[in-house]
Amino acid sequence: MLRRNLEGLLSKCYRYGALRGVELGIYIKYMESGQFLSYESENFSYQSTILEQKRLPGSKNYSPSHLALGIAKKLQGTSAKTATAPAASPKPTTEPI
């Protein structure tokens, strides 16, 4: 990952994790280099129950295909010559990924 992408990601994690009532954890494994990166907001308490939390009713679990679909819809909307409604947000699954 390019350094600027990582810095942008971490600054967004910091800002989002600092919101009142939000706990944030992100984990990245670089398969080729074997490096591991983690970020957890202050008082992050879900390390041991992440899989359980993902299975709870109402949990929103995104996959790369969900995000790619949302991005593609947004790109199509910006290239249209006529005004269109904003692209719908990607629909998360309530099933564990």
pLDDT in tens, 37-84: 999 998 888 888 999 999 999 999 888 888 888 888 888 887 654 445
Strand partners, 37: 28
In angstroms, the CA 9 to CA 49 distance is: 24
Provide, rounded to the nearest whole percent, the portion of the chain with pLDDT above 90. Answer: 34
Range 1-16 average pLDDT: 83
Beta strands in 1-97, from DSSP E residues, in sequence order: 25-29, 36-40
Digit-coded pLDDT (tens) for 85-97: 555 555 566 655 5
pLDDT of residue 88: 54
pLDDT attached to residue 82: 46
For residue 30, which of 2, 64, 8, 66 has the smallest C-alpha distance?
2
DSSP-derived letter for residue 36 is E
Residue 38: strand pairing partners = 27
Integer CA distances (angstroms), 68 to 31, 55, 74, in order? 21, 23, 10
How far is Cα 22 from Cα 64, in angstroms, rounded to an integer?
Answer: 23
CA 66 to chain centre: 11
